[in-house]
Structure 1
Amino acid sequence: MKTRYWALLAALMVQVLYGLNYTFAKDVMVGGFIKPFGFIVIRVGAAVALFWMFSFLGPKEKIEKKDFLTLFYAAVFGVATNMLLFFKGLELTTPIHASVIMIISPIIVLILSSFYLGEKITRLKVLGVIFGFAGATILTVYGRSASPADNVFLGNIMILLNAISYSIYIIIVKKLTYKYHPFTFIRWLFLFGFFLVLPFGYNQIIAINIASFTPYIWFSVVFVVVGATFGTYLLNPLALRHLKASTVTVFIYLQPLIAGIYAVIVGSDAVTSVKLIASSLIFFGVYLVTKKPKVLHA
């Protein structure tokens, strides 16, 4: 039981880090400090260094040759396609729009899990998805962009495709979590991913003017790399190891809530009755999906 609680806490922390990531990453890109694809190369490259540097913390395991192909597919969907579409989409749309669109992931994972992982779709899970979707939808009503430079429609499409790619990644990596410790395979996942994203962001990397970085921009870049990349990709497999894939991804409903809370803290938004109702629906949806069914004894 304690293991399940730690897994749920890991899944929660992933969404907290992702929820804050929307604003920090957007500020770096909109300010013109780093372009989206260049930011991804930095993000993945730094994560590669961190995962290989701290790999000694995990057990000494050897990956089977057949699993390297699975790792490559996971890198295509979970690192390259996922991240490139996400950052480019985030540059064009708003953090709230992006965080809400991402809630489609649990729905996709729930469907894919039933086909490829044999997970049973219960009425309780379906009800939880409905409540979570309703709450996140209400929360995004106020999320229109005030910036004329944004292309919300195109950005939203990219975030949607990113959500689909991320859902496929969750299904692919689920089986690896049963066989290996996260440190064993994630370092290879990001190494493959780095070479996949490098051609897209190389020109944007060499165009970066580090001298223009403010302390806030430096903090934002470090947060994206250490928190929203190293931290999330380490915690997510730990959660997947002890929870169903559909349970882990339903925590994504918290992202719009976290984005809203952060906006209130920094003074760019205010609490309203609508947001409180939406937040309640999101929490209730997460509760329903993560609630274990009672076992009846004869």
Structure 2
Amino acid sequence: MKNPIRVHAALFTAAFIYAANYSLSKDVMPHFARPFGLVTLRVIGAALFFGILSRLVTQDRITGRADNVRAVLCGLIGIASNQLLFFSGLELTTPINASLVQTVSPIVVVLASAVLLGEKITRARAAGIVLAGVGAALIILGRKTGATPGQDTPLGNLYILLNATAFGVYLVIVTPLMRKYHPFTVLARIFLVGALAVVPFGWRQAVAIDYAHLPLLIWSEILYMVICLTILAYLLNNWALKYASPALTGVYIYLQPVLAVIIAVGLGKDTFTLEKALQASLIFLGVFLVSRKPKPSLAPAKPLVASSQD
């Protein structure tokens, strides 16, 4: 691994940025801003940033009908649907519930790969899908622990599950584009599509924000969501994934909800109960089983031959 300390620092910082968002967003929603308004600010900001950056860094352009259709689908599923569902769910549920339910994204990646790419699902992965599904279902249908008045926790949990589903599908369909074109080219296109899809839903909520009277803390949290969450976290992940092993990135998948729990409890935004710990263990075990690579099939037996190498 190249620059192991920098790789770990990048992955940890990205995980921390995502984890902190679960609690910081609760300060902003719903009193100062509504979810669709926040999504509109985030996506427009990212579309402008990556659009300018792609022009400065590369002359690469997406060509061909198939790739352009795929890019549109990525923008609709991975940006618009993903973000609208996430912030709608986070407004209604608790930070810990949201962080735990969203951990099922790797499960969706495996299922989407099986459906779209024809990959086989082993028995271990099937067991992992069932375990994680049970854990997520228990959270979604569980009691409204830590919820505030006016929240609809089960509905919010369901939105987060749909968000994780959209993100998992997005990871599968965006991979061919990332392998073929420069990442900034792909991001510029999909965020542009996402912005065009989000604005009709969120522009009213975006302009309804009372920007002149926002407290400094709320301003900083909104800027955090636009700059750190949407732009910086991706840049860190994109750089680190060039050098990190799949096993290492898997560790940080588990770290994100752990950090989210610590931050939420530390800030008094949520409580972590034994019930949630048991539900989390089911999801973590399921994701662990699904994330394991299937063992290669054994070749036909051959006569044993002495080898000089270990």
Which consecutive residues of structure 2, in runs of 5 or more, have no partner in the other structure?
A: 299-306
CA contact (8 A) 1:106 1:249 kept: no
What does residue 154 of structure 1 align with? 155
The structure with the larger Rg is 2
For residues 195 and 272 of structure 1, what CA distance do their matches in structure 2 show? 41
For residues 286 and 139 of structure 1, what CA distance do their matches in structure 2 show? 16
CA contact (8 A) 2:103 2:253 kept: yes
Q: Deviations over 1:3-52 (max 9, x none)?
A: 9998787665443322111111221113x211111111101011112212
For residues 245 and 165 of structure 2, what CA distance do their matches in structure 1 show? 18
Q: Give the stretch that moved more between structures: 130-139 or 85-94.
A: 130-139
Q: Give the stretch that moved more between structures: 275-284 or 53-62.
A: 275-284
**Following superposition of structure 1 onto structure 2, how do residues 96-245 of structure 1 map, counting pairs within 5 Å?**
96-117=96-117, 121=121, 144-236=145-237
SS at 1:144's partner residue? coil
Question: Percent sequence identity over matched residues?
Answer: 41
Counterpart code for 1:52: G
Counterpart code for 2:26: K
Are residue 33 (structure 1) and residue 13 (structure 2) matched? no
CA contact (8 A) 1:101 1:160 kept: yes
Shift of 1:91: 0.9
SS at 2:32's partner residue? coil
For residues 12 and 125 of structure 1, what CA distance do their matches in structure 2 show? 27
Are residue 64 (structure 1) and residue 59 (structure 2) matched? no
SS at 1:171's partner residue? helix
What does residue 21 of structure 1 align with? 21
Pick closer, same or farther for the CA change 1:158–1:165 going to 2, 3 Å. same
Shift of 1:207: 1.2
Q: Give the stretch that moved more between structures: 256-265 or 276-285.
A: 276-285
TM-score, scaled relative to structure 2: 0.76
Q: Give the stretch that moved more between structures: 267-276 or 108-117.
A: 267-276
SS at 1:155's partner residue? helix
SS at 1:102's partner residue? helix
Pick closer, same or farther for the CA change 1:78–1:268 going to 2, 3 Å. closer
For residues 79 and 106 of structure 1, what CA distance do their matches in structure 2 show? 17
For residues 148 and 239 of structure 2, what CA distance do their matches in structure 1 show? 38
Shift of 1:127: 7.4
Counterpart code for 1:62: R
For residues 85 and 287 of structure 1, what CA distance do their matches in structure 2 show? 25
SS at 1:254's partner residue? helix
For residues 132 and 280 of structure 2, what CA distance do their matches in structure 1 show? 9
CA contact (8 A) 1:139 1:274 kept: no
Are residue 76 (structure 1) and residue 94 (structure 2) matched? no
CA contact (8 A) 2:250 2:291 kept: no
Counterpart code for 2:43: V
CA contact (8 A) 1:113 1:246 kept: no
SS at 2:29's partner residue? helix
What does residue 44 of structure 1 align with? 43
Shift of 1:205: 1.8
For residues 150 and 60 of structure 1, what CA distance do their matches in structure 2 show? 47
CA contact (8 A) 1:82 1:165 kept: yes
Counterpart code for 1:208: I
Pick closer, same or farther for the CA change 1:277–1:98 going to 2, 3 Å. closer
Pick closer, same or farther for the CA change 1:283–1:35 going to 2, 3 Å. closer
CA contact (8 A) 1:38 1:203 kept: yes
CA contact (8 A) 2:54 2:184 kept: yes
SS at 1:149's partner residue? coil
Pick closer, same or farther for the CA change 1:233–1:24 going to 2, 3 Å. same
Pick closer, same or farther for the CA change 1:113–1:294 going to 2, 3 Å. closer
Pick closer, same or farther for the CA change 1:176–1:33 going to 2, 3 Å. same
What does residue 53 of structure 1 align with? 52
Shift of 1:133: 7.8
Shift of 1:84: 0.8
Q: Give the stretch that moved more between structures: 193-202 or 124-133.
A: 124-133
Counterpart code for 2:155: L
Aligned residues: 297
Q: Give the stretch that moved more between structures: 261-270 or 174-183.
A: 261-270
SS at 1:63's partner residue? coil
Counterpart code for 2:193: F
TM-score, scaled relative to structure 1: 0.78
